Structure 1
Amino acid sequence: MKFVKMHGIGNDFIFVEDLENKLVEKESEIAIKVCDRHFGIGADGLVLVRSSKNCDIQMTIINSDGSKPNMCGNAIRCFSRYVYDKGFVKGKEFSVETGDGRKDIKLNLKGEEVTGVRVFMGKESYKASDIPLKEGLEEIINFKVDVCGNEVLLNTALVGVPHTVIIDNEDKFKTNFGKNIEKLEIFKEGSNINFIKIIDKEHIIVRTWERGAGETLACGTGACASVAILNRLGHVYKNVEVTLPGGKLNIDLEEEGIYMTGPGEYICEGEIL
């Protein structure tokens, strides 16, 4: 089974072509095995390239623990470059089917080389039923909780997956904060946690704790959710540069929804024995 390994500003993935869906029953087992950084290839997730009846191509992502998120911003940028370079799609604009629905892609090209990927991520949702939140809550905006003896304000939105933002805590990031917040009973299915430092209205720094996985070098959906929430609260403009531990993303809020622009880079290729 041939593979290609790529990364989106440090968030790394193993790509395998499965156009005929032959790996469906074993995909979680395969992901756990190949993503192991000691006994496998090592990656944050396995991404499968599949045919789609509704879009130009389909992306299926499985986390390193075998779970299946609906969407991953860094993965879809890498995926978009991969399927263009391999000839699975034609032209610099195409659609990708994901667990979070259709995503429209526009590639930045220099000649035939992909220099960046712009993804339409859709609109954020604050609805309790979408995130989902426990009964009795309509949304989480400036929601006070006690975490490890500290009073913290939470703000939560869904951008493919649930994301909670904590402002001005990026430089005070503590592992136990993310671990404790993601499991709060207000979240029915947990939440990713984003610790934010606002530089100015056009630039923020984000560190993300992914539910069940820990801190990551980059999170595209987290960057999108962070900008959307901060804009709603009046802290940033609609066009923001987001600095993450692994690199930078540009997030643009338009009337129709959120656009994310950033790179997708190759690491290596080989064969899984």
Structure 2
Amino acid sequence: MKFVKMNGNGNDFVIIDDRKCEFKGKESQIAKILCDRHFGIGGDGILIVRNSEIAQIQMVIINSDGSYASMCGNGIRCFAKYVWDNHIVDSNPIKIETGDGVKDAFLHMENSKVEKVTINMGKPSFDCKSIPANCEDEIVNKKIKLHGREYNITTMLMGVPHTIIFGNLDDFDINEGKYIEKYELFPEGTNVNFCEIVDKNKIKVKTWERGAGATLACGTGNCSSVIAANKLGFTGDKVEVHIPGGKLLVQIKENGVFMTGPALISFKGELEI
């Protein structure tokens, strides 16, 4: 199997071209093998290239634990660069089919190379049935108690479910995310973002990802954090997000939430599986 290892702000992925559907039905098993950091390549997930009937190309996302993800913000930037570099798609912007619908990827070129990518991530939903969450009202600044500690949470669907908790990052252990991920309010689990407000135009975020654990970056989580911060009046609609793996720019517009960040190739290779 030929592959490319890529990362967006340290959120790393193994990308494989499966337009012939040779690995169909084996995605979960393959992801566990490839993402193992000792016996495989290592990654937070795999991105599979497939043909699409509704867009120019399709991206299938499998987390490192073998579970399916409908959307990944850092992953789709890497995916867009991959399909451009390999001449699979030759237009800019690129329309990419995901489990969360078709997303537009705008490529920023320098010396004929893709350096950054902007993704229209779509719009969030606070509807509990969409998230899904066991409640009727929106989860906005809702107080919960878990393991003897109180949290004020805001939860939405941004392609995948995300829960945001505001405070000083030094006051949180990222591993607290594993308990919130499986909190009884969320029947299918939730991603968890700890967010610190720096000023109206800047925030810091650390993310515990459902199905992957602590990661250096999470694009959908960064967008969700900006949306929540804006909704609660902490920030404006254009925010620089600082994360362990670097930084992203997120802007809220009428037609969606736009995220801009890097997409880098780590290495290429071939693996026997």
TM-score grouping bracket, smaller chain normalisation? over 0.9
- In the TM superposition, 1:54-133 aligns within 5 A as 54-133=54-133
- Gaps in structure 2 of 5+ consecutive residues: none
Q: Residues 30-69 of structure 1: matches in 2 within 5 Å? A: 30-69=30-69
Could you say which residue in structure 2 is the equivalent of 1:24?
24
Q: Does 1:168 align with 2:176?
A: no
Question: 1:92 touches 1:108 (CA, 8 Å); kept in 2?
Answer: no
CA distance in 2, matches of 1:26, 1:201: 46
Q: Which amino acid aligns with 1:194?
A: N
The CA distance in 1 between the partners of 2:211 and 2:25, in whole Å, is 22
Q: Which residue of the partner structure matches residue 185 of structure 2?
A: 186
Cα pair distance change 1:27/1:176, threshold 3 Å: closer
1:236 partnered with 2:218: no
Distance 1:226 1:31 in 2: 28
- Listed one character per residue, the Cα deviations across residues 144-203 of structure 1 (whole Å, up to 9, x for unaligned) are 111232221010011010101100142222144212211111112111110011000100
Partner Cα separation in structure 2 for residue 57 and residue 77 of structure 1: 13
Q: Which amino acid aligns with 1:35?
A: C
Does residue 138 of structure 1 match 2:161? no
Kindly tell me the number of residue pairs found equivalent between the two proteins: 272
Using the TM superposition, give the Cα deviation of residue 24 of structure 1 relative to its aligned residue in structure 2, in angstroms: 1.1
Contact 1:107-1:116 within 8 A present in 2 as well: yes
C-alpha distance 171-104 of structure 1, shift in aligned 2 (>3 A): same
Deviates more, 1:162-171 or 1:263-272: 162-171
- Partner letter of residue 221 of structure 1? T
**Which residue of the partner structure matches residue 202 of structure 1?**
201
Q: Distance in 1 between matches of 2:15 and 2:210?
A: 22
Give 1:106's aligned amino acid.
Answer: F
User: Secondary structure in 2 aligned to 1:240?
Assistant: strand
Structure 1 residue runs of 5 or longer lacking an equivalent are none
Asked if the contact 1:148–1:177 (Cα under 8 Å) also holds between the matched residues in 2, the reply is: no
Q: Distance in 2 between matches of 1:129 and 1:73?
A: 22
Task: Give the Cα separation in 1 of the matches to 2:115 and 2:34.
Answer: 28
Please tell me whether the aligned partners of residues 217 and 243 of structure 2 are also in contact (alpha carbons under 8 angstroms): yes
Cross-structure match for 1:256: 255
- Aligned residue for 1:248, secondary structure, equals strand
Indicate conservation of the 8 Å contact 1:171/1:197, yes or no.
Answer: no
Higher mean alpha-carbon deviation, 138-147 vs 94-103, is at 138-147
2:158 counterpart letter in structure 1: V
Corresponding position of 1:148: 147
TM-score w.r.t. the length of structure 2 is 0.97
Is the contact between residue 190 and residue 211 of structure 1 (CA under 8 Å) also seen in structure 2?
yes
CA separation in 2, counterparts of 1:142 and 1:110?
Answer: 42
Q: Distance in 2 between matches of 1:14 and 1:71?
A: 15
AA paired with 2:241?
A: V
What secondary structure does 2:94 align onto?
A: strand
Quote the Cα distance in structure 1 between the aligned partners of 2:263 and 2:175. Answer: 31
Bigger shift: residues 171-180 or 249-258: 171-180
Q: CA RMSD in A?
A: 1.0
Distance 1:148 1:154 in 2: 15
SS in 2 for 1:225: helix
How far 1:270 sits from its partner (Å)?
0.7
AA aligned to 2:48 is: L
Q: Any idea what SS the aligned residue of 1:25 has?
A: coil
Equivalent residue runs for 1:211-230 within 5 Å: 211-230=210-229
Contact 2:205/2:241 (8 A) holds in 1? yes
TM-score (norm 1): 0.97
